[in-house]
Amino acid sequence: MTTTSSAQRARTGRITFFVALAVFAQESTWNLYDAQVPPLLREHIGSAALVGLLMGMDNVLGIFIQPWMGNQSDRTRTSWGRRIPYLVIGMPLAALLFLIIPHVAGSLPLLILVMFGYALVANSFKPIAESLLPDFIPPERRSRANAVVKIAASLTVMVAALISVFLIDEHPKLSFAIPAILMMVSLAVLAAKVRDNRSPGYRTALDEEREQQGTAAPGVRVRDTVLDIVRDVDRSRLLLIVSILLFGGAWAASRALMTPYGMEVLHMSRGDAGGLTLPSGVAFILAAYPVARLAERFGRLRVMTVGMTVFAAGMVLGTVVQTPTGAVIGLCVAAAGASSFLVNAVVVLWNLAPSDRVVGTYTGLYTVGWVSGGFLGPALVGGMVDLTSWSLLLLNVAIIALLAVLVVVRVSALQRRSSVSRAL
């Protein structure tokens, strides 16, 4: 029994490493894209609004593409499994498109075309790589695995910053080549080491289809999955997606609006104000894995509720102590609390899925909620600031976060009444 348990832990550790490597590689390209493509656009376009619109194109595409591609992978049946074939095709193409961005930067039409192609392809396989986790890892251990993946994704912000500081001015083409090479290396490791046709999730999906129809048949469509969530008498899944939208909005507002807050309220320079959120990134990384272990011991919904409340408390602290130090401490407290939600929310959504046949679709639906919150949150909080003042920015963020807390509390209440036992 001990040998079996040790072997299972080793397999869990291996697949967690491989998925974290893939996410690290693709997020490295995304972060450098977000940091360095706007200056390329500014060489051709004077309007900041138009630059922002073009940079937001990837988020709009993600809302529509990620659930659909997650669903396509759910329904795929090959000797290589259902996820890896898409990664083998998508990652090299995304790496190539990313690599040529600086080479076409002299022509605005070509630059926009390549940007669109990269955003389209990279969004296509993003949920597929992340869905390998629930395919291989049992529900009770998914939080700690996802924590490792989130830590890997967070580290890519530092990678992009280092490339920007040390390479981009003198070697712009090499700067884009490094993340592209990382993506190809991670793909080579994945393709050589991972056979997702052997994953428990894939085998279970095949068994379910044979039991239902006698032969292995295509899975459930996105439309059917969404209708099932909306029509379900138990509103847990729908409410969880609402909480993802709300907390995603609070999180996005707390990041996007901090620079003007620092300038308007704390009287900092633009550069200093832009660095207010940097220490909180370290706090998030340090908190992510311990929070995952706590969630697996005491319950994910419970830990999420506490963590989101801590996030709101950090925002209140920053409001009460309106100094640069107070803001940094408040943001660090908030980021540590937010890690409980960012690590566990998608895990709860996976574990609420009625079947292993739809986990890729659920990964995409998580993205829809999170990205939609990222769109709406800064605008909503910005409107609240217009009605109040910049000095109450963090308090306004806390209000949105507390609304998300109430929704998660409702999900917890529904699950306590449920007759189905899940790892929540």
pLDDT digits (tens, 9 = 90+) for 210-237: 777 654 455 678 888 999 999 988 899 9
Based on the structure, what is the number of domains in the chain?
A: 2
Examine the domain organization and report whether 195 and 243 are in the same domain.
no
Which residue, chain included where needed, has tokens 């207010």? 276
Do both 306 and 360 map to the same domain? yes
The answer to whether residue 288 scores a pLDDT higher than 90 is yes
Across residues 100-117, what is the average pLDDT? 93
What pLDDT shows up at residue 7?
66
Cβ-contact 160, 32 below 8 angstroms? yes
Domain check: are 78 and 18 in the same one?
yes
Question: DSSP secondary-structure letter at 78?
Answer: -
Residue at a domain's end among 213, 231, 247: 213
* Shared domain check, 149 and 108: yes
Note whether 153 and 25 are within 8 A (CB).
Answer: no
Residue 403 lies in a domain: yes
* CATH code of 413's domain: 1.20.1250.20
Contact 344, 304 (CB under 8 A): yes
Look up the pTM and report it: 0.88
Q: 40, 244, 356, 292: which is closest to 148 by C-alpha? A: 292
pLDDT (mean) for 377-401:
92
Check whether residue 257 and residue 182 sit in a common domain. no
Whether 423 maps to a domain, the answer reads no
pLDDT at 415 over 80: yes
Same domain for 187 and 296? no
pLDDT over 90 (residue 416): no
Query: Nearest CA to 193 among 2, 412, 372, 10?
Result: 10
Confidence at residue 214, expressed as pLDDT on a 0 to 100 scale = 54
Residue 277: inside a domain: yes
Q: Give me the domain span that covers residue 266.
A: 222-417
Helix (H) or strand (E) holding 30: helix 2-42
Q: Is residue 17 part of a domain?
A: yes
Answer yes or no: do 256 and 178 share one domain. no
How much is the pLDDT for 198? Answer: 84
- Residue 421 — very low, low, confident or very high, per pLDDT cuts 50/70/90? low
Q: What is the pLDDT of residue 237?
A: 94
Q: Does any domain span residue 422?
A: no
Q: Which secondary-structure segment (H or E) carries 1?
A: none
Q: Are residues 227 and 164 in the same domain?
A: no
Any domain includes 395: yes
Query: Cα 313 to the chain's mean position, in Å?
Result: 23
Residue 1 has pLDDT above 50, yes or no: no
149 and 254 share a domain?
Answer: no
Look-up of token digits 């993802």: 244
Same domain, 258 and 371: yes
Q: Tell which of 165, 190, 213 closes a domain.
A: 213
Same domain, 227 and 208: no
> With pLDDT > 90 as the criterion, what percentage of the chain qualifies?
46
Residue 30 has pLDDT above 60, yes or no: yes
Query: What is the mean predicted confidence (pLDDT) over 152-180?
Result: 84
CA 179/CA 97 separation, integer angstroms: 12
Phi, psi of 396 (to 5 degrees): -65, -40
Radius of gyration of the chain (CA): 21
For residues 328 and 279, the answer to whether their CB atoms sit within 8 Å is: yes
Residue 385 sits in the same domain as residue 364: yes
In a domain, 257, yes or no: yes
